[in-house]
Amino acid sequence: MTSPSGLDLPVADRPAEGRFDGGVHHFPLRVYFEDTDLSGVVYHANYLRYMERARSDMLRIAGIDQRAFFEGGGGAYAVADVQLRFRSPARLDDALMVVSRLERVRAADVLVHQQVRCGTALLAEARITVALVSASGRPTRQPPHWIAIYQGLVGQGELQRP
């Protein structure tokens, strides 16, 4: 039996988690048929799904165990604000990179700047605030060790300009 995180799998068999480079997280993915709309381009809402996956994996490899926190009754992150700009469409079979950088950490929320790129082309860019909420849905403070992890990443590295 493997752990839910897959960490006991051989490295070659683990799900892609991306990597940090100078405080910036890089998360690769590919566009599949299920991601596209009738016109053959990525459906707009899927960019948010891609960014969610990248944020979750960024936190995981930084050492933040969201699942254990939730299962322990601590709550979960909820998207509080999204500022998103689409620039160019992704298409079937494109190899994409979601690039994420922490811009701000406060007691109960984190601001993440994210870009979806295909090669050097910027396809979409967002600033997303995620807030930690308790099991009852009320904002709650992030654990001190999470804040310490975030503070080590905030402002590190740079995202490419459009």
pLDDT tens profile 23-59: 899 999 999 999 999 999 999 999 999 999 999 999 9
Q: Is 10 within a domain?
A: no
Residue 159 in any domain: the answer is no
Q: Is residue 7 part of a domain?
A: no
Is 35 in the active site? no
Residue 66 domain-assigned (yes or no) = yes
For residue 115, the domain's CATH number is 3.10.129.10
Tens-digit pLDDT profile for residues 74-115: 999 999 999 999 999 999 999 999 999 999 999 999 999 999
Active-site residue, from 37, 65, 81, 93: 37
Residue 162: pLDDT band with limits 50, 70, 90 = low
For 108-139, the pLDDT digits (tens) are 999 999 999 999 999 999 999 999 999 899 99
Q: Name the pTM for this structure.
A: 0.88
Number of domains within the chain: 1
In a domain, 11, yes or no: no
Give the pair of three-digit tokens for residue 123.
């396809």
Express each pLDDT in 3-22 by its tens digit. Answer: 555 556 666 666 678 999 98
| Owning domain of residue 28 | 19-153
In a domain, 144, yes or no: yes
